[in-house]
Structure 1
Amino acid sequence: MSETLLASAAAGTDTPVPAAPGARPFWRRLRAQRAALVAAVVVALLVLVALGAPLLTTLEGQDPTTYHPSLVDSARGGVPVGPLGGISGDHWLGLEPQTGRDLFARLVYGARVSLGVALAATVVQTSLGVLMGAAAALGSRWVDQVLSRLTDIIVALPLMIMSLALLAIVPSSFPRPLLVTLVIGLIGWGNLAKIVRAQTLTLKGLDHVSAARLSGWGTWHIARRELLPGLAAPVLTYAALLVPMNISAEAALSFLGVGVKPPTPSWGQMLTAANVWYQAAPQYLLLPAGALFVTVLALTVLGDGVRTALDPRAGSRLRVGTGRKEGSA
């Protein structure tokens, strides 16, 4: 019963989650939410910046790894020379203290790492969550018990502590962005598996699923044709909310020194190096912190908009820019 309520809560309603609406009604409801549209534009711009990082840095004439020791004041501990942290026509956002690396180049390449790790980890979590949840609901009683207990263990694991432990023991030669992606993805699928299992158990009792079973269809054929469309709404909703959570997790791991390693730029790694420069070079702290804040906020608002568009009976949690009263369709 509690898992059924969990599945319903994922879609913001106390009744069983309906099947995913058609594409056209979904886009119409999403476009009606101004806050979600603004968030979608912001996310699209961030993705374009991440994908176009090589082009943007080429236009600036810089790269994220080249040192410029002549542009920092060694007598003052490595503070960038010039106003506003060394901002100039050659360095659009200034320079990194001590090393003199270009901040704009490191910021846009850091977007690649932060967004790439978060999206890839979300794909891993979603794939495992759907697979394990559906297998538990459709399998035998013994399979359900084993997979449910495994899911409970995964949910109980503290993500940050387990990530710290795993990242600390893996050889440094292993690519860190890939390792962080796998660690976050393999530890964070439990809640989605519970949602999928509860919703699948609800859908199994519907008339069209029973009719398909009586027609002689196999279990996985029924799952693909009859159950997956009904799982689309809660899965997409939860996946949309996982992305900002994963960005925060990657930034936290890099900030603690066990995530992405230099010279590969990452927003969390930049925050780690900036914690002693917030007075002498405040832009070195404010730029990655602002990028993280805007990205997480935009993805959260967009995820809430997707949830509301998929289930129009549920009012927006954030109540920002929707222009609708609670409970309106």
Structure 2
Amino acid sequence: MTFDKTESLIREAVTEQAGRAVDGSTVLRALRRERPRRSMPLVFAAVAVVVAAVSAVVIPQMVRRDQAPPAAPGAVLEERTVLVLGRDEGSRADTIMLTRLAGERATAISVPRDTLVDIPGFGQGKVNSAFSRGREAALSAGASQGEADKAGAELTMTAVGALTGMAIDDYLVIDMAAIGRAADAVGGVEVCLRAATRDPFAQADFREGRQTVAGSTALAFVRQRHGLPNGDLDRIKRQQVFLSGLIGRVTPANAASVLAAVRDQVVTDADLLGLAEGLAKTRGGVRVALIPVGEVVNSTQGAGLEVSPEAVRPFVQAAMAGDMPAAPDCVN
């Protein structure tokens, strides 16, 4: 694929900042020097990767497997499978999404946090505990905080890959607390609830119908699971709705503000830019799905969701290969 001069400017601006915070003004200054109108789609793509990574709204860390060779300069990642981990308070990954960029299609498949999976070296456990187990084991062995986070993400990637049958290329670790800042930067995100809900644990208090969430209310919206008919499954649907709304709110007028709002929590490398370029090619937004789950059963970690890899794998393959429904309008 041949890149025009605008795309080269984007690469130069992003590469210059690799390994440190992204300065949105630097990127935009470079873009304004050459054909600003044609530059906007890739700026939006970069913002979309930052705010979208399927509940992936901001990206404090992107860690690649050591085995994966770096992308060649100027190469577009035509197809990429990324595991997105949303880390809330503590060291457990409370949001887990498998995202696939393939040509003009982007698909995100959610894995409920209480899904019971085989965790290498630890036996069966909830999938959201894989991150903390890998992290704590690495810390006990003398690893640094960064190395421990990487170990936790890699263990989760192995467990999810075995469950879904997907070869996962990269993973993103997300600080969920930054969601409010992203929502503020776009002037809030409109959501719709079927009924009024309240959850003191998530500091959530919402009325029925359409409303705009930002800041702490946006964070409460994607965190709440108590008081919902289907608990964590309803929370997943909320995250999908929020994601869709957030992406739709990025405009030429607020793109720089979005970048500025999250710049101190973003680590950028060539692969991230490749993901941005891949997302720029998609049509129709991110399509979403939820893996098939079975009954609630007791486990050593409390109540968990039983799943069958034999049912999950063909479902994931079909979802990644075909059209999936867009995020629902109103949710619980």
Scaled by the length of structure 2, what TM-score is found? 0.24
Between Structure 1 and Structure 2, the one with more helix by share is 1
The structure with the larger Rg is: 1
